Amino acid sequence: MDLEAHSRTEKLNKIMADNGIVVPRLRGLRLMSDEEPISSKTIETITKDTWGCECEDAVRSHFRYGVSWCEYSHATDKLVNKYLIKNGYYVDGIRWNRVHGKRRKLFKYLIKTATKKVRNNFMTFNKYCGRDDVLCIYARVGGGNWPNYRKEIETQPWFIEKADYPYDSTYCDIYVRINPIAKELKGEN
């Protein structure tokens, strides 16, 4: 959940209404003219944290992919220590010499998909930073929810593009066209 975007919802709802924008399951708003691009170093750090979490979840679910549960126990703690290099809470790396076969393929797949998700989300965000004619809508219509809302949102003239949130794909950022914001309005945000 993006708490900063959520806190701006009340102020920016008027902009949505003025531009005829309606998005279901709205969770937050960001005026892209107020945003700064995210550095490549920050993106790399977030990418590593994301695939680290994905790999740890895979170990804690006994190397099952696509399950919605993880086991936190002494047994899975041992497995995490066997296969992953941890620095406190965060995964710093994988002990590749101990990972073989299907488990190795799963880790490589998780790293590849997590990297792709993070880069797609943040590169899309960076593309629109500083633009006063774009609003970012944070909504819970991503991932498996998107087919239910796709037609309703993508067919609108204000729709630009959508990027799933890397940590929880049920959330997404929807970028929409708005009328450029007057400088006096922009200062209120």
Residues 45 and 27 in one domain: no
Which residue range forms the structural domain that includes residue 182?
3-34+130-186
Residues 45 and 114 in one domain: yes
Domain count of the chain? 2
Residues 114 and 50 in one domain: yes
Question: Up-side HSE of residue 68: CA atoms within 13 Å toward CB?
Answer: 3
* Residue 112, domain member (yes or no): yes
Check residue 148 and give its pLDDT: 93
Residues 9 and 52 in one domain: no
pLDDT one-digit tens code per residue, 109-155: 999 999 999 999 999 999 999 999 999 999 999 988 899 999 999 99
* Residue 46, domain member (yes or no): yes
Residues 168 and 145 in one domain: yes
CA distance 60 to 54: 10
37 strand-pairing partners:
none
Residues 73 and 21 in one domain: no
* Residue 152, domain member (yes or no): yes
Contact between 137 and 15 (Cβ < 8 Å): no
* Residue 125, domain member (yes or no): no
CA distance 125 to 174: 10
Residues 108 and 58 in one domain: yes
pLDDT one-digit tens code per residue, 84-109: 999 988 999 999 999 999 999 999 99
CA distance 86 to 96: 14
The residue among 118, 142, 175 that closes a domain is 118
* Residue 124, domain member (yes or no): no
Residues 52 and 108 in one domain: yes
The residue among 72, 88, 118 that closes a domain is 118
State the CB neighbour count (10 A cutoff) for residue 162.
20
Confidence of residue 9 (pLDDT cuts 50, 70, 90): confident
Residue with token string 């006063």: 132
Confidence of residue 1 (pLDDT cuts 50, 70, 90): low
Contact between 127 and 38 (Cβ < 8 Å): no
* Residue 134, domain member (yes or no): yes
On the question of pLDDT at 182 being above 70, the answer is no
The residue among 97, 118, 139 that closes a domain is 118
Q: Which helix (H) or strand (E) covers residue 31, if one does? A: strand 26-31
Residues 178 and 160 in one domain: yes
Residues 146 and 181 in one domain: yes
Residues 103 and 147 in one domain: no
Residues 23 and 53 in one domain: no
Q: Which helix (H) or strand (E) covers residue 135, if one does? A: strand 134-139
